[in-house]
Amino acid sequence: MNFERMNDKIIGERVKRYRKSLGLTQEKFCDTFDEKVSIDKFRLSAIESGKRDKRKNPHFLTNNYIDFFSEQIGISTKELLFGDKQERINIVKLVLLSLFMNGTKKMANTKEIPREINPIFDPLQEDKELFRLAMMNLIDGNDEERLLGGVASKEYLGITSPIPKVEGRIRITKKLEEIDNFFFGKNFARYYDLLMDGRQLFPEQSSVLLKSLFGNFDFASDFLDRCDSLENYSYEGWELRNTDLEIFYIDNYLDGKGNFAAAAIDWKELSYRKFINAFNEFLNLHLEKFYDFFESNIFSKSIKALSNAYVNEVFGSSNFINLTKDILEADQFIPSRMTGHNFARAEIQKLFLIKKDSEDLLRDNATLPSKRRFDDYYDLSKKEKSNREYDLSKYLYDFENLTYVFAHSKREEENLELGLHAPTYFAVKSL
């Protein structure tokens, strides 16, 4: 990740806000403080823009400038470099998201040119894309959300809307920011763009973080169900892998490849808010541990020490990987998170059995992926399947559905007539 570029920009904006609060131009600012610090308008402009010059300012700010701006603004040097407590928490969130995304370039539409995906909604993006994503994120909730979702849908489809486009855009972005001022905030998508550098250095960290989010049942059930629906196919009583896909979630899970972050955020589409809720819930539970790690390894360091090489080494270290694994272990034993983790465990075990059956039934010398006929690649005569025997696959299927019923039965606001999808094996009656 390009930590230098992102943090330099944030520091520069902090300096710029201070200068503007004094009502001074860059030139006037330099003249006003000429006796306190040696700085000209070009140097100040570079600082406010967050631009480094490898020859003139390789570390962005000298110690003299750090002391000067800290004293003038009336904050500590730590606050100048990393902001107040909330701003530092935002940096934690940005970095964790960068580790989670791990430079993924897998697009929802395979016809699109692959590019590194930003997991944060950009309220400043062009109208067409803003309205497309907004209509997918405002389909539930209160009356106002649904109204604005309808406005976004009409604007995206080119249908006359009851609210003028400019007013609709303003109201939509304001409502989204009310829902979550980080993931829909006006600055954070831009900061994340600066953090991206195209490399994939953190597959294990990404994989562990994804597993940790499964403590949120809504996210776990939605994400894993989407993986199952996309990757597997029911064929003559068997659940087998689709033959035209290159990667499968169960392989990612077993090998810790970190390839499914884009699917986890659903490319900011229908399931995006489930991801946001899961991420926020997880981070709130474990923020203290993550924050302590950042305090020791990032926020206590000088700007000179915080090179990109150092930052990437810190988050690629065994210390950080072990921290995420310890947090995952602890997360699985939080009572409110057990349902999600138990559901995910059963679903992943089911995916593993589908993987095994698919490998067992694959025809000799079959080469995948392919878009040819499904039965050209699977030989069902290789393995006998009993439809009567209560086997592990049926048990996991029942466990998955019973957990789903249990999770929803705990919600007082929902009065759902949930059918049990295992009537062949159990006789369950309402109490």
Count of other CB atoms within 10 angstroms of residue 81: 24
CA-angle at 143, arms to 137 and 149, nearest 5°: 30
Count, in order, helices (H) and strands (E) of the chain: 19, 2
What token pair was written down for 387? 């439809």
pTM: 0.93
Residue found under tokens 């020859």:
55
Angle at 206 between CA 205 and CA 209, to 5 degrees: 85
pLDDT at 422 (0 to 100)? 47
Q: What is the dihedral of CA 51, 53, 54, 59, to 10 degrees?
A: -60
Interatomic CA distance for residues 87 and 84, integer angstroms: 5
pLDDT tens series, the chain, 431 aa? 999 999 999 999 999 999 999 999 999 999 999 999 999 999 999 999 999 877 767 778 999 999 999 999 999 999 999 999 999 999 999 999 999 999 999 988 888 899 999 999 999 999 999 999 999 999 988 899 999 999 999 999 999 999 999 999 999 999 999 999 999 998 999 999 999 999 999 999 999 999 999 999 999 999 999 999 999 998 888 999 999 999 999 999 999 999 999 999 999 999 999 999 999 999 999 999 999 999 999 999 999 999 999 999 999 999 999 999 999 999 999 999 999 999 999 999 999 999 999 999 999 988 899 988 888 899 999 988 766 678 888 888 888 878 887 787 666 555 444 544 444 445 555 55
On the CB side of 396, CA atoms within 13 Å amount to: 14
Q: Two tokens at 118? A: 């930003």
User: Residues near 13 by Cβ (< 8 Å), separated by ≥ 6?
Assistant: 48, 50
Considering Cα of 243, then 244, then 249, then 251, what sign does the dihedral take?
positive
pLDDT given at position 371: 86
Cβ atoms of 259 and 247 closer than 8 Å: yes
Which pLDDT does position 411 carry in this prediction?
Answer: 65
What the block records as the tokens of 275 is 């991801």
* CB under 8 A, 24+ apart: contacts of 63-69: 64/37, 64/38, 65/37, 65/39, 66/303, 68/33, 68/36, 68/37, 69/15, 69/18
Q: Which residues of 188-208 are buried (b: 16+ CB within 10 A; e: fewer)?
A: bbebbbbbbeeeebbbbbbbb
Instruction: Look up residue 333 and give its amino acid.
Output: F
Question: Taking Cα atoms as reference points, which of 229, 243, 249, 247 lies closest to residue 379?
Answer: 243
Residue type, 405: V
d(CA 93, CA 182): 9
Strands (E) across 187-298 are located at 232-235, 238-241
Note whether 274 and 219 are within 8 A (CB). Answer: yes
Report the C-alpha gap between 327 and 29 in whole angstroms: 48
pLDDT at 386: 67
CA separation for the pair 49, 59 (Å, rounded): 14
Phi then psi dihedrals of residue 241, to 5 deg: -70, 145
